[in-house]
Structure 1
Amino acid sequence: MKKVNKRWTTLYLMLTITALVLAACGGNNNGGENAGGSEPANGRGQAASGKTQELLFWTPFSGADGEFMKKMVDKYNSSQDAYKVNFVIQPSGEYYKQLDVALSSSKDRPDFMIMHVDQIPTYVNKGALLPMEELAAAAGLNQADYVEAPVQYATIDGKWYSIPLDVHPLVMYYNKDLFEKAGIAAPPTNRSEFEAAVEKLTDKSAGVYGYVLPTLWPQQFIFPTLVWQNGGDLWNGTDVAYNSPEAVEMISWMRGLVEKGISPGNVQQDGENTLFLQGKNAIQFNGPWMKGQFDQAGINYGIAPMPQIGKAKQAVFAGSHNFVVPKDATDEATLAGIGDFLKYVSANSMDWAASGQALAAKPMLQSAEFKALPNAIIADSFEYVQFSPNVLNWSTISEPIWGELSSALLGKKEPQKAMDDAAAKSRQAMNK
C-alpha cells in the first residue's frame, strides 16, 4: 500500500468537511445531482495484492442517482480482477471548483470523471482534456456506438473529447388520475392540445392546477426549449439573442397561464414539484432524474416527450453526462483500465437507466430491456435535442437570464424589459 502523503490527507479532510456541510444544508429538491448527501470515498491506492490496477473515478452524483452509478461500478469491479474503479462522489455544487483544484495536481487528480456536456468546450479550451480517439479505439468503441448529439457537441476542432453516458432532455410528467378524471385520454403534443388540457384539469375549488409554472429551476430547461420551439435562439453566433421577439413571446405565454388562473402566481423553488407530489399539479416539465422520487411517492404518473408549444418546430433542451479523461493521463495501464470500464458501461448500463435516465449507448437503447422501461419514451426526442450554445463560459454569460426571467414570470417586469436587461448584463460579462 502506498504511503499517503500529507497533501492528500489535507485535501481529503477538506473535501470530507465540505461534503458534510453541504449534506447538512441541503439544496434544490430536484431528486437529481443537487439533492441529498454525498458518499465519502478514499480515492486512488494500489491494491493489497499488487495485481489490480486501481482507477480513481469522480462524479457529481450526490443525489439519489449516485446509488445507481455505484451499483454499476460495483458490478464492474466484481466482474473481473484486473481493474478496480474507486468511485468518488463530489458535492455537485462544488464539483467543478474541486475538479479545477485536482486537475492542477498530477498526484491528486482523478484518472477519469463525469463532465456535463456543456462544460466540455471550456475545459478543452483550458487544455485540460485528453482526446478520446486512441483510448476508444483500443477498447473497441466507436462514435457510431453512441447517440449523435453529444458526440457532435464534444467533437471540437476534429477531436473527440468525451464518451456519453446519457442524454437527459426536458420531459413531461402527468398525473394519470387527474387526466382520467378530466376525461383526457392522452398527454398533449402541441400548444392547442396543451392549452385545452390544462383548462380541463384546473379545478380551483379543489386547489388543483392544470400546470404549475415554476419561476426558478427548472426554467434552465424550460425557457431554452420554448425559445427554440418558437424559432428563436439563445446565441446568434456572435451575441446573446434571448431578448428576441420569439423569446419574449414565449415568456408572455408562460405569464398568461398565471393570468388565466391555470397556475398560481408566485411559485417558490420546487413549489410545482411539491404540488405534483400532492396530486394538486396535473402536469410538470422536468428532467428524467425525477423518476425515482415519483416512484417512491407512489404517484400514478406518466412520462411523455415535451409537447411543441412554440410555433416553429419541435425542439427540446437537454443535458448529457459524459466520461472524460484529464489531458495529463499517460499511464498505459490506467488508460487501458478506463477503456475497459467504458466498454463495460456501453453494454451494461441498465442500472443507470433505472435512475430514470435515457442511455447514450445505442446497444443499450436498442435492447428489449431498455425498451420495456417507462422512461424509454424519452429517447424519442433524441433526434431534436439541443444543448447549451457551444460558447466558452456559457454558464457565466447566461446567468443573468434566470433572475430577469423570474421577475417577468412573477409579473414584476414586462417580458421585453426583463430580457433586454438580461442581455445587457450578459454583454457586460463578455466585456462587450
Structure 2
Amino acid sequence: MKKKRFLGIALTAALALGSLAGCASKSEDSAGTAGKGEKITFWAPFSGADGPRMKNIVANYNKSQSKYQVDMQIIPQNDYYKTVDLSFSGQKSGPDVMIMHADQLTNYESKHLIKDITDVAEKAGIKKENYSETAWNAGAFDGKQYSVPLDIHPLILYYNKDLFKAAGLDPNKPPKTREEFVADAKKLTDSSKNQWGFVVPTLWPNQFIYPTVFFQNGGELLKDGKPNYNSPEGVEALTFLSDLIHKDKVSPENVQQDGEVTLFLQGKNAMQLNGPWMMEQWDKAGIHYGVAPVPQLGTKTQAVYANGHNFVIPAAVKDQKKLDGITDFLKYVGNNAMEWARSGQAPASKAIYEQNAEFKKMTQQPQVAKEFTYAKFAPRIANWGQISDPLWSEVNLALLGKKDPKQALDDATKKAEQVMSK
C-alpha cells in the first residue's frame, strides 16, 4: 500500500499520508452487480493491492444470498475524501455505506454527517464484544456507535533476518526494548558499506513513528484540548529519534522521502518501522524479513500509533430496506474477512484474529493483532490534520539537524495554537 495526498474536510498533506497509507491507484474502479435484490452502493479507497481482496468479499457476499446486491465503487485515494465531501454537500450522488479512516471519524461525526448506527447494529446482531475493543471504541461518541471496524493498521517492526544473522544476532529474536533496539542497531551498522541498523525517516512515516514513542513515554499530543507537543514526553521522544542519527549514528543523515524503504529493499537497512501495507512490497522483493510488534522505545509503557478502516453510513440514508441490507453485509464481512487478512491487514473481527486457524498461521497478521490492545489513534478533535501539520514540519527540521528538538516542538506548539485560535 502506498501513500498519497487527498483532499477533504480539514485535511493536510501529513494527515493524508497517515489516513490513506495503503490504497494507491490512478483510476476509478467498481465491482458491479449482476444479480437482483436491493442495491447497496459501497464506496472505498482501496485502489491498491487491497482492492481485489475487498472485491472478492463483496462478490462472495452477493453470491451467498439474493435479497441484497452490494455495488462496490473504488474511488482513487487522492480523490477519496474530496469526493465524499461533494456527496455530503449534495453535489454528487453518495453511497449507502462507505469506508472511513479512524482519524476522520471525529470530523464527520461532529458535523452530523454520519449515522448513529447503535440501533440498526444491535438489530442485526453486530455486537461490540465481537470486535477488538480498541477498534470498536474508535467509532463510539457519547455512548452512541457510528462505525463498524474493518481493521486496525498500526506501526510494526520489519527486520532483515540475513543482516541479523551476519551481525551475530538471533534472527528470530528482534528487540523488545529501547536498550535492545539501540544495541542491535549499533551491531547492524557498518557505515563504510552504507549499511545501517535503523534508517530514521525525516518525513513519512514519522506521522506514525514519532507519536508511538511519544505515547510510550506516557505523553498526550493534546492536553485539556490544547497542543502538548513540547511536553517533556514529547521532547524526550524527538531527542531519542534525533540521537539515533546524530549521536548513535545508526542512521544516515538527511534521509529523503522513502529513503529508508529503498535501503531496506537493497538490504542496507536492517530494521524498519512501517505499516502492514508494506508486506506485499517486501514479498515481491524477495527479502528474508521478520515481523514483530514495535519495541517499547519509550520510557514508560507499551503503545503504538495506529489508524483503521471503518464502515460508516451517511446520515442521509434512512430507507429501512437499505439499512437492513447494509447491516447484513457488514455482519457477513465480520465473519468472512480472511480475504482481507491476505492483503497483510489484521481484521478487527474476533472471528478472524482470535478464532480463525488460517489467520493464526500467518507470518505478519498475528503480529499486527498483538498490538490491538494498546494501539492508539489520533486525538479526538475535528481538524486534527491542520492542527498536527506544524508538528510534522518541525519534527522534520529537528531530524535534519536544523533545530534543537525542544525549540522545534516549542515552535510546533505555538503554530498549532495559532491554527486552533482562528
TM-score of the two chains, using structure 1 as the length reference: 0.89
Once the two structures are superposed, the pairs formed by residues 194-209 of structure 1 within 5 Å of their partners are 194-209=181-196
What SS is found at the alignment partner of 1:430? helix
Q: Can you give the 5+ residue segments of structure 1 that lack an aligned partner in the other structure? A: 1-17, 19-26
**Equivalent residue, structure 1, for 2:352:** 364
Q: Report how far residue 79 of structure 1 moved.
A: 2.1
1:79-124 superposed Cα distances (whole Å, 9 cap, x missing partner) = 2222221111112222212101112229711000000112111211
| Structure 2 residue 313 is the aligned partner of structure 1 residue 325 | yes
Q: Report how far residue 412 of structure 1 moved.
A: 0.7
When residues 92 and 365 of structure 1 are mapped into structure 2, their CA distance, relative to the original with a 3 A threshold, is same
What SS is found at the alignment partner of 1:151? helix
Pair member with larger Rg: 1
**Equivalent residue, structure 1, for 2:197:** 210
Q: Does the aligned pair in 2 maintain the 1:106–1:328 contact within 8 Å?
A: no
Give the percent of matched residue pairs that are identical in Structure 1 and Structure 2: 49
**Equivalent residue, structure 2, for 1:396:** 386
Q: Distance in 2 between matches of 1:111 and 1:29?
A: 25
Structure 2 residue aligned with 1:334, among 322, 327, 330? 322
Structure 2 residue aligned with 1:125, among 86, 110, 119? 110
Q: Distance in 1 between matches of 2:193 and 2:211?
A: 32
Once the two structures are superposed, the pairs formed by residues 17-416 of structure 1 within 5 Å of their partners are 32-41=21-30, 51-105=36-90, 108-185=93-170, 186-259=173-246, 260-366=248-354, 367-375=356-364, 376-416=366-406
When residues 253 and 54 of structure 1 are mapped into structure 2, their CA distance, relative to the original with a 3 A threshold, is same
Q: Report how far residue 328 of structure 1 moved.
A: 1.2
**Equivalent residue, structure 2, for 1:429:** 419
Q: Distance in 2 between matches of 1:107 and 1:226?
A: 41
When residues 188 and 116 of structure 1 are mapped into structure 2, their CA distance, relative to the original with a 3 A threshold, is same
Q: Report how far residue 406 of structure 1 moved.
A: 0.3
Q: Report how far residue 189 of structure 1 moved.
A: 0.2
When residues 369 and 38 of structure 1 are mapped into structure 2, their CA distance, relative to the original with a 3 A threshold, is farther
Higher relative contact order (CA 8 A, sep 6+): 2
Q: Does the aligned pair in 2 maintain the 1:58–1:113 contact within 8 Å?
A: yes
When residues 413 and 111 of structure 1 are mapped into structure 2, their CA distance, relative to the original with a 3 A threshold, is same
Q: Does the aligned pair in 2 maintain the 1:212–1:284 contact within 8 Å?
A: yes
What SS is found at the alignment partner of 1:73? helix
Q: Distance in 2 between matches of 1:430 and 1:83?
A: 45
Q: Does the aligned pair in 2 maintain the 1:135–1:335 contact within 8 Å?
A: yes
Q: Does the aligned pair in 2 maintain the 1:32–1:65 contact within 8 Å?
A: no
1:270-308 superposed Cα distances (whole Å, 9 cap, x missing partner) = 110111111110000001111111111111111100000
Q: Report how far residue 205 of structure 1 moved.
A: 2.6
Name the aligned partner's letter for residue 359 of structure 2: F
What RMSD in Å do the two structures reach over aligned CA positions?
2.1
What SS is found at the alignment partner of 1:150? helix
Q: Report how far residue 48 of structure 1 moved.
A: 7.8
What SS is found at the alignment partner of 2:421? coil
When residues 120 and 73 of structure 1 are mapped into structure 2, their CA distance, relative to the original with a 3 A threshold, is same
When residues 423 and 34 of structure 1 are mapped into structure 2, their CA distance, relative to the original with a 3 A threshold, is farther
Name the aligned partner's letter for residue 144 of structure 2: K
What SS is found at the alignment partner of 2:158? strand
**Equivalent residue, structure 2, for 1:23:** none
What SS is found at the alignment partner of 2:344? coil
When residues 30 and 238 of structure 1 are mapped into structure 2, their CA distance, relative to the original with a 3 A threshold, is closer
When residues 53 and 181 of structure 1 are mapped into structure 2, their CA distance, relative to the original with a 3 A threshold, is same
Aligned residue pairs: how many?
403
Q: Can you give the 5+ residue segments of structure 2 that lack an aligned partner in the other structure? A: 1-6, 8-15
What SS is found at the alignment partner of 2:90? coil
Q: Does the aligned pair in 1 maintain the 2:198–2:250 contact within 8 Å?
A: yes
Q: Distance in 1 between matches of 2:313 and 2:29?
A: 22
Q: Distance in 2 between matches of 1:48 and 1:216?
A: 45
Which deviates the most, 85-94 or 157-166? 85-94
When residues 200 and 371 of structure 1 are mapped into structure 2, their CA distance, relative to the original with a 3 A threshold, is same
Q: Does the aligned pair in 1 maintain the 2:140–2:146 contact within 8 Å?
A: yes
Q: Distance in 2 between matches of 1:216 and 1:238?
A: 26
Q: Does the aligned pair in 1 maintain the 2:148–2:312 contact within 8 Å?
A: yes
1:340-377 superposed Cα distances (whole Å, 9 cap, x missing partner) = 11111111111111111111011111211111111212
Name the aligned partner's letter for residue 246 of structure 1: E
When residues 420 and 276 of structure 1 are mapped into structure 2, their CA distance, relative to the original with a 3 A threshold, is same
